[in-house]
Amino acid sequence: MDLERRYILASKSPRRVELLTNLGLEFDTIPSDINENIEREGTFGDFVEKLAYLKGSDIAKKVKNRVIISSDTIVVLGDRILTKPKSSKEAFDTLKLLSGKKHQVYTSVSIIDQENSIVSVDHVKTDVFFEEMSNNDIEWYISTSEPFDKAGSYGIQGKGSRFIKRIDGCFFAVMGFPVSKFVKMMSKIGIKI
């Protein structure tokens, strides 16, 4: 591992912190405060990559000689992005939409190596298949408060796991950070983890 470098995670997500910590990476956390309500241009992959890059570049303006790691996740059903719910009703409506259906989770990673002037941005797409959920199931899940800080109103690694029929793709990307993609990206720019 490249211990001489100083790393920053541009996120306050406890899931991203946990996943990076599990890799043995030592880093500081400086959350970006960019406005994420930007117009979508291009594909969903392009959009989620842009969000991750904007978060990283926001932090890059505030620090020097660091490797800045940022990420973003969007949940997509059809042509609609399902955001973090702002209310119980919004969480209920989102979960009702997802019930019994397949949707996609796009998770991006941006790496900005300031010292070497390198920027690397990529994403992964994972198909998630939900079980049918009754209104009682949805109301119970909302009562746990788990849906409220998560895109798509669910957490695959928590109580929401009971509603997941299967996934095709990266579990950790659905959790919020595509670990294997990140390790490959770091290796490509010369940083071994």
**pLDDT above 80: residue 125:** yes
By C-alpha distance, which of 171, 172, 153, 178 is closest to 75?
Answer: 153
Judge whether 193 lies within some domain.
no
Judge whether 1 lies within some domain.
no
pLDDT, one tens digit per residue, over 35-60 is: 887 888 899 999 999 999 999 999 99
Judge whether 2 lies within some domain.
no
Per-residue CA distances from 191 to 25, 113, 136, 184 (Å): 11, 10, 48, 9
Judge whether 44 lies within some domain.
yes
| Beta-carbon contacts of residue 193 (< 8 Å; ≥ 6 apart) | 1, 2, 23, 24, 25, 183, 186, 187
The total domain count for the chain is 1
Give the pLDDT band (50/70/90) at residue 65.
very high
The pTM of this model reads: 0.93
Judge whether 40 lies within some domain.
yes
- Specify the pLDDT at position 40: 84
The overall average pLDDT reported for the chain is: 95
Backbone torsion region of residue 54, taken as left when φ is above 0, otherwise alpha when ψ lies between -120 and 50, otherwise beta: alpha
CATH number at 68 reads 3.90.950.10
Measured CA angle at 107 (ends 123, 2), to 5 deg: 70
**pLDDT above 60: residue 28:** yes
Judge whether 167 lies within some domain.
yes
Judge whether 82 lies within some domain.
yes
Q: Would you please indicate which residues are annotated as catalytic (active-site) residues?
A: 72
Judge whether 150 lies within some domain.
yes
> Which amino acid is located at 3 in the chain?
L
**pLDDT above 70: residue 4:** no
Q: Is the separation of the CB atoms in 50 and 36 below 8 Å? A: no
The beta-strand segments (E) located in 102-189 are 102-113, 118-130, 164-168
Structure tokens that stand for 109 in this block:
């990673």
State mean pLDDT over 78-82. Answer: 95
Structural domain boundaries, residue 162: 7-188
